[in-house]
């Protein structure tokens, strides 16, 4: 057993004992550890387990304090629930150990539900849920400021181009990044989930839309989450549908409605480009640093988004051509060399 495996086993045992103590109202001496059914992990370092009880199931979460901010999760969960957003109820928390018990939203992410026959049924509900998130007060959230935007963009040349492809980044990257930073700062600001997509939206057993993985929420650009949803790294929809959904979202929005449609589309495109460049870096870092290859298969779709937006904006066209002519083939070669799950 490796040191990592030993640590994981020990954490699971500690979590099991903690859950038992909470379910017995703190009388841990009278309880043995409960059985934890693993239900997966995410792109971070959290692990999730289902706990069966006589009349329901709940979820136990192991969120190591060295990497995960449990305080932020609990604080946002309580505020958003009070504001009408359907996020999991936190039933118990141990901040020192990084353990939580929370409501079980089931096993059905929207990614498993959405397809060309269901998307028109569910997309309006997902956009309505996003509207409810953006109505939450952003003042207590960290700012999605220029420093963070630049840090996220740096993942693209570092991990995607250099570490994974072995390619020297082009010298004009600073010129490429500038309009993206400007667009994200110039558009109306508010509450941003920051990872609002089909894997972080659940169809609960009751048939409601549940929102998860929101602990990274920020005070930032209001088009960030809608482009994250409509240009999802895990699903792709026809351009005409995306434009229609965006227009419907804007028409209902208390802040975005009334803004010039051409300006909104530009902000939407450039904000999405920043996200997709960041995701190319994150997906490759998850493999190279964290040993998680499952996200590599999403790279072709994400790269297609990048190239498509670069084609539509003259100041970005040169980079789009470089990606098409020099990078796309290298991506396919690297993927062919990697055993994907």
Structure confidence by residue, pLDDT tens digits, 166-213: 999 999 999 999 999 999 999 999 999 999 999 999 999 999 999 999
pLDDT score of 53: 86
Mean pLDDT of 202-229: 97
Average pLDDT, the chain: 93
Share of the chain above pLDDT 70, in %: 94
CA 63 from centroid of its chain's CA atoms: 16
pLDDT score of 41: 60
Strands (E) located in 175-306: 189-192, 201-203, 209-211, 218-221
Mean pLDDT of 240-267: 97
pLDDT score of 9: 84
CATH numbers and ranges of domains, the chain: 3-103 (3.30.200.20), 110-336 (3.90.1200.10)
C-beta of residue 156 within 8 angstroms of C-beta of residue 277: yes
Give the range among 20-29, 135-144, 268-277, 321-330 with minimum mean pLDDT.
Answer: 20-29
**Is residue 54 very low, low, confident or very high in pLDDT (cuts 50, 70, 90)?**
confident
> What pTM does this model have?
0.93
DSSP 210-229: EE---TT-EEEETTHHHHHH
**Is residue 299 very low, low, confident or very high in pLDDT (cuts 50, 70, 90)?**
very high
pLDDT score of 340: 76
Q: Which residues contact 221 (CB under 8 A, 6 or more apart)?
A: 144, 183, 184, 185, 187, 188, 189, 192, 267, 271
Give pLDDT tens digits for 16-36.
Answer: 999 999 988 755 555 566 889
pLDDT score of 26: 53
């Amino acid at each position: 057993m490796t040191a990592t495996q030993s640590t994981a086993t020990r954490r699971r045992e500690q979590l099991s004992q903690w859950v038992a103590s909470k379910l017995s109202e703190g009388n841990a001496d009278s309880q043995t550890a409960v059985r934890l059914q693993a239900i997966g992990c995410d792109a971070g370092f959290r692990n999730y387990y289902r706990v069966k009880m006589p009349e329901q199931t709940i979820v136990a979460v192991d969120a190591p304090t060295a990497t995960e901010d449990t305080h932020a999760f609990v604080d946002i969960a309580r505020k958003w629930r009070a504001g009408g957003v359907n996020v999991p109820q936190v039933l118990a928390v141990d901040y020192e150990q990084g353990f939580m018990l929370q409501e079980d939203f089931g096993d059905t992410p929207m990614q498993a539900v959405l397809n060309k026959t269901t998307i028109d049924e569910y997309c309006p509900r997902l956009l309505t849920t996003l509207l409810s998130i953006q109505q939450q007060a952003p003042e207590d959230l960290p700012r999605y400021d220029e420093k963070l935007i630049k840090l996220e963009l740096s993942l693209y040349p570092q991990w995607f181009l250099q570490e994974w492809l072995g390619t020297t980044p082009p010298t004009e990257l600073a010129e490429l990044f500038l309009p993206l930073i400007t667009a994200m700062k110039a558009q109306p600001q508010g509450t941003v989930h920051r990872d609002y997509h089909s894997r972080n939206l659940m169809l609960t057993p009751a048939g409601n839309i549940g929102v998860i993985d929101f602990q990274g929420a920020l005070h930032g650009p209001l088009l960030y989450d809608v482009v994250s949803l409509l240009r999802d790294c895990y699903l792709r929809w026809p351009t005409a549908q995306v434009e229609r959904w965006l227009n419907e979202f804007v028409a209902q929005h208390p802040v975005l409605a009334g803004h010039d449609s051409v300006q909104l589309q530009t902000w939407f495109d450039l904000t999405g480009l920043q996200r997709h460049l960041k995701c190319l870096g994150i997906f490759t870092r998850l493999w190279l640093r964290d040993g998680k290859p499952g996200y590599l298969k999403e790279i072709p779709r994400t790269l297609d988004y990048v190239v498509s937006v670069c084609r539509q904006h003259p100041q970005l066209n040169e980079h789009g051509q470089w990606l098409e002519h020099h990078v796309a083939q290298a991506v396919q070669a690297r993927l062919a060399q990697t055993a994907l799950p």
